[in-house]
Amino acid sequence: FSMSVDLIATLLGWSLVFNIGYLLLASVLLLLAPNGLASLHQRMLGLEQSDWRRVYINFMANYKIAVLVFNLSPWLALKCMGY
């Protein structure tokens, strides 16, 4: 099974769409229901309210960087090359 460069570009594009969708959903949930998310994570992980917000924001920042590095950058490079 071999993958063409066009297929890889398409895969990266759709991966980018899904990852940005997840980031948007997580951000909206954080803005609209912070207490519900906090209580859920407190029950699951035993985190305090102040710790939970810091951990969640840190996770979102790291996830965003990973999406930019592993999805957006290669997709843009392939698009600039004409694929």
Place of tokens 């790291």: 62
Mean pLDDT of the 19-31 span: 95
> What confidence category does residue 1 fall into, taking pLDDT thresholds of 50, 70 and 90?
low
Residue 53 structure tokens: 């917000």
Q: Please give the Cα distance from 67 to 23 (Å, whole number).
A: 9
Q: Model-level pTM? A: 0.83
Half-sphere exposure of 71 (CA within 13 A, CB side): 17
Say if residue 42's pLDDT is above 90: no
Residue 13 structure tokens: 């594009």
Mean pLDDT of the 35-63 span: 88
Mean pLDDT of the 32-47 span: 87
Cβ atoms within 10 Å, residue 29: 13
